[in-house]
Amino acid sequence: MNKPLRRIAVFCGLLVLTLLIRVNYLQYVKADSLADDTENRRVNIERYATPRGDIIVDGKAITGSVETTSGDYKYKRTWTNGPMWAPVTGFSSQAFGANQLEKLEDDFLTGTDDRLFFRNTLDMLTGKEKAGGSIVTTLSGAAQKAAFEGLGSKKGAVAAIEPSTGKILALVSTPSYDPSKFAGTSKADAEAWAAVQKSKNPDDPTLNRALRETYPPGSTFKVVTAAAALENGVVKGIDDPTDAPDPYKLPQTSTPLTNEHGECENANLRYALMVSCNTVFAKMAHEVGNEKMIEQAAKFGYNNKELDTPVRAAQSVYPEDNQPQNALDGIGQASNRATPLQMAMVASAVANDGKLMKPYMVDQLKAPDLDTLTTTQPEQLSQAVSPETAQKLRDMMETVVNDPQGTGGKAKIPGVKVGGKTGTAQHGLNNSEKPYAWFISYAKLPDGSAPVAVAVVVEDGSANRDDISGGGLAGPIARDVMKAVIDSKK
């Protein structure tokens, strides 16, 4: 071969090698980033080329797919009772992407998940259309409906858990939105999307308040402070005097802390929780100390940055704080912040003999032929308190509901042991805004089982300030959710 031909051959060989390297780079190194590129319409065209798999509650689909009449996308997502279920499913929009379960399990719902490879291969060989898998949730339709209707037009959230397993039974956030209204690409979809954005709607309907919003937990946190005091020997028995003054001067200050109700001077722990004595619990939080309070809160789930349900919950925070702030943290104020899910976890651990189970809302993933591919196994997060302390906490929480002086009487259910704790959390600079109404509770049946624990928070801007209380606004909602779970098991 002469020299010029040899040079041309080498040059052509280098070109072919360059092409091979480029193709492999695109197919393997850049594959994921190209697939996730918002400008790559082929991914969305494929995603909506077939009906999505469904999200299942109580054996029935709460989602669906409908064939479109125009555009590149053949199918779009639909929801049954969209506003009620949006805090669970999230949205899946041809124009605006997806969130929550619809996003986290997108590959499985669209049928592209590796776990469906064998099934998809068989379908390809037999000429059957590719189909997505289904997500079977832990949710109770009855509990979700009771929570959604209980909140009604009020702003707030409800989280309900099965204490023995951690299964999430209800997850509601209001105001909500209907994801069906912006599932497509039309002008109406764009207008519906804009209407639920925080920039247009200050109530922020797409915010999942049950998982992603943190609030001062108010007096519901006194259950955790009581647990810390009992576990650390600050107080022995729940009927022993606490030597708490009324008012109580916050440590290192001249600022007096007072009480809204009751005769709290030297009150015992049972009475202090029943009428919600600020002075008793602030003093106990100080005596336990900030480090031990953080430890106890963490055992109930606080300060966990990676709590996935599988939707990640916002971190609830019991902070490192100075002495006066720690005393206020101990009554659920200052920098203490918690999600509704977190406070349901507190009630759940108390009901479950101190054992805290990891909350989860996906029970099973099923292939299109209904074969079960994965089943979530319950997982213990911690032993929040000893069984003995848990029993003492239950005794106190049941007094809150059953004693005529207690603040939780509206949560009573005939024939069922109900334990609860109310909370009215201050809100705004110098408590300038209307407070949040809280209620946490659990139900125990005559056979000793505890089918449900609930947390409710209500941000009711329309209520008269003097009428806002955990027992008044949130307690009846918690009662109805617990009753719905109990009745559904009969």
Residue 250 has pLDDT above 50, yes or no: yes
Least confident of 35-49, 206-220, 354-368: 35-49
Q: Which helix (H) or strand (E) is 194 found in, with range?
A: helix 187-195
* 90: in domain: yes
H helix or E strand, kind and range, residue 77: strand 75-79
Q: How far apart are CA 260 and CA 271, in angstroms?
A: 14
Over 90: is that where the pLDDT of 197 sits? yes
Cβ atoms within 10 Å, residue 427: 16
Q: Is the pLDDT of residue 400 over 50?
A: yes
Domain that holds residue 306: 41-124+136-490
pLDDT in tens, 339-348: 999 999 999 9
Q: Note the pLDDT of residue 33.
A: 62
Nearest to 302 by CA among 317, 313, 321: 317
The mean per-residue pLDDT over the stretch 205-224 comes to 97
Q: What is the pLDDT of residue 462?
A: 47
Token digits for 176?
């909500």
Q: Which residue has the tokens 């639909």?
A: 78
Q: Is the residue at 21 inside a domain?
A: no
Tokens for 332? Answer: 């659920």
Looking at per-residue confidence, does 112 or 442 come out higher?
442
Please indicate, yes or no, if residue 6 is contained in any of the structural domains. no
Contact 73, 44 (CB under 8 A): yes
In a domain, 23, yes or no: no
Q: With respect to residue 163, please indicate whether it lies within any of the assigned structural domains.
A: yes
pLDDT at residue 16 tops 50: yes
Residue 2 included in any domain: no
The answer to whether 67 touches 49, Cβ cutoff 8 Å, is: no
Q: CA end-to-end span of the chain, whole Å?
A: 90
Cα–Cα distance measured from residue 60 to residue 46, given in angstroms and rounded to the nearest whole number: 26
User: Is 232 among the domain residues?
Assistant: yes
CATH number of the domain encompassing residue 383: 3.40.710.10
> Helices marked H in 266-372 — which ranges?
269-275, 278-288, 290-299, 323-329, 340-351
Pairing of strands 55-57, 134-137: parallel
At 323 the pLDDT is 97
pLDDT, one tens digit per residue, over 381-393 is: 999 999 999 999 9
State how far the Cα of 329 lies from the Cα of 284, in Å rounded to an integer.
11
- pLDDT-derived band at 260 (thresholds 50, 70, 90) equals confident
Q: How confident is the model at residue 123 (pLDDT cuts 50, 70, 90)?
A: low
Can 219 be counted among the known catalytic residues?
yes
Query: Catalytic pick from 134, 176, 219, 316?
Result: 219
Give residue 329's pLDDT band: very low, low, confident or very high (50, 70, 90): very high
> Residue 279: what are its φ and ψ, rounded to 5°?
-65, -40
What tokens does 274 get? 């029943």
Domain count, the chain: 1
| Residue 112 forms part of a structural domain | yes
Confidence of residue 124 (pLDDT cuts 50, 70, 90): low
Least confident of 98-102, 103-107, 399-403, 464-468: 464-468
Compare 330 and 47 and report the one with higher pLDDT.
330
